[in-house]
Amino acid sequence: MSLPLLAAIVLAMLALGYVFYGRFIAAQYRLDDAAITPARAVNDGVDFVPTKPFYLLGQHFSAIAAAGPIAGPILACQQFGWLPCVLWIGLGVIFIGAVHDFSALVASVRHKARSIAEIVKANLGSRAWLCLLAFIWIALIYVILAFADITAATFIGKTEELEGRFSFNPGGAVAAASSMYMLLAVIMGWIQKRWNPPLWLMTIVFVPATLGVVWLGTHLSTWLLLSHGNWAALIMLYCFVASLLPVWLLLQPRGYLGGFVLYLALAVGVIGIFFGGFPIEQPATTAAPLVGLEKSLFPFLFVTIACGACSGFHGLVCSGTTSKQIAKETHCRPVGYGGMLLEGFVALIALATIMIVAPTETAGRSPGTIYGDGLAHFLTVILGKNAFLFAATFGAMAFSTFVFDTLDVATRLGRYILQELMGAHSRLAAIAATAATAGVPLLILLGAGAGSYRTFWVLFGTSNQLLAALTLLGISVWLKRSGRRAWYTVAPMLFVMAITLWSLTGQVIGFFGQLRDSKTGAFVAASVANGVVGVLLFLLAAMLVVEAIRSLRKTPAVEGVFPQA
């Protein structure tokens, strides 16, 4: 099968899924435009702002489309081949991932734009709320661990096509471009705050400047040549500082510029897939076992692809910011369900970047480097082969841009959760909570060494998808207590929970079996951390299930009730 035909089939599946299954799920929730949404009820001009669905979809998509749907499919293709990846991305995103995001968004809107944790508290009780907060914090730690390590690997990465050219260092070029991009975002935020110029003027200045720093990075590729450990420390220092800065100084301008980078990367991917004439070089399947507790397709394909098909992190975004901007209930379908289908499209393009390269050429290379080089090949369809140096730097910087968006948000959310658990909201408490959220990953990264993202990634994907299952569990309890059918959330919840707990069991057994490195005899930090965390996640999930069963015996729900038929 050709790459364009395969991509066309998947895109047709996503479109049909939105039209038919998305419409079906919307009907189950009885979306009512006559209902006053929290955005319209509060409308404070700060957090609660009724927003047109087209603009809100762009903002929401930029928030959820991080590095997960890029790195996950690339790692999974290397282990299991492209065919299982395509099937899980296409079917999983329609029947599970998009249902999760849509349901989380509707549930939050119906609960006065409260977070998923608060919805669980209202329907399952305080003990379940505490368990879920602890689970979310641990899951966020693994988001930071996996993404920080994979970014450090990208900053010291090598690209065979570019080695030996003009004393050029591919990893150094990406590091320089990414660092200047962050500085550019800070300058934009400062100018916006100080003088508040028109947005169109800021756009025509800073979006081209973003491409300019990519070009400049190719000329400064030997300026930032650091070791993996040093990059890991600097990235965690960035997480600490960025999560304490006011959102207008870095998070908002970087998110705005990052949206343009994301859309440009998608456009490049479409052009490369359909007009590049690239053949599929990767095998459709590999010799990986079908079922087992270690490196088998079931259950590890699903948790390796992670956000490309289903992501618990999205539920935090849906209920954290997006629900406060829904002007009408029917807007939940294009924003929640449609946004996740777009994420599946991102995963498809990421998968294509490795499918066009032979397995011998991808061995030992980080997903960021593979994705960057793949986008570079696609971009040369437009710019010509002589522009590969610039194109490769742009592709890898696009990847790191998505990563930094996630790192910033994850660290900030981790700070909020610790402060909520401690009941402390002072500036000192914020600094302490941030230090803990960034410090724990730093200690593990320094002990684990370079390339440990492969060890962290599967547990990251497991915790992320288990969080999605627990979110669907809370929503299912709310639906049942409201007297509604819930099979459309119960069925995906049971599947994802079974897969993730199966995966978690295998990982815990494997991690505790590798406490000592066979060569050095030293304790392996990654295995110790993963083993302990795996047990904690399992226990927290079990406690939430128990609380869910208890809550079903309670009186009917009084919040988030459905309109009468």
Query: Backbone phi, then psi, for 309, in 5-degree steps?
Result: -125, -35
Q: How far apart are CA 8 and CA 563, in angstroms?
A: 39
Where does the pLDDT of residue 158 fall: very low under 50, low under 70, confident under 90, or very high at 90 and above? low
The pLDDT value given to residue 513? 72
Higher pLDDT, 523 or 231: 231
Query: pLDDT for 214-244, tens place per residue?
Result: 889 888 888 888 888 889 899 999 989 988 8
Query: pLDDT for 415-447, tens place per residue?
Result: 888 988 888 888 899 899 999 999 999 988 887
- Nearest CA among 546, 404, 417 for reference residue 470: 546
Q: Are 67 and 311 in contact (CB under 8 A)?
A: no
Between the CA of residue 305 and those of 84, 98, 223, 301, 340, what are the distances in Å?
10, 15, 34, 6, 14
Report residue 294 as tokens. 């270690």
Range from 157-166, 188-197, 397-406, 447-456 that averages highest in pLDDT: 188-197
The pLDDT value given to residue 166? 42
Query: Helix/strand/coil (H, E, C) string of 184-207?
Result: HHHHHHHHHHHHCCCHHHHHHHHH
Query: Backbone phi, then psi, for 165, in 5-degree steps?
Result: -90, 115
Q: How far apart are CA 181 and CA 217, in angstroms?
A: 10
Class of domain 3-551: mainly alpha
Question: What's this model's pTM, rounded to 2 decimal places?
Answer: 0.90
Higher pLDDT, 352 or 383: 352
Q: Are 369 and 158 in contact (CB under 8 A)?
A: yes
Q: How far, in whole angstroms, is CA 116 from its chain's centroid?
A: 17
Q: How far apart are CA 139 and CA 551, in angstroms?
A: 24
Q: How far apart are CA 249 and CA 291, in angstroms?
A: 49
pLDDT above 60 (res 352): yes
* Domain layout of the chain by residue ranges: 3-551
Where does the pLDDT of residue 125 fall: very low under 50, low under 70, confident under 90, or very high at 90 and above? very high
Average pLDDT over residues 404-416: 83
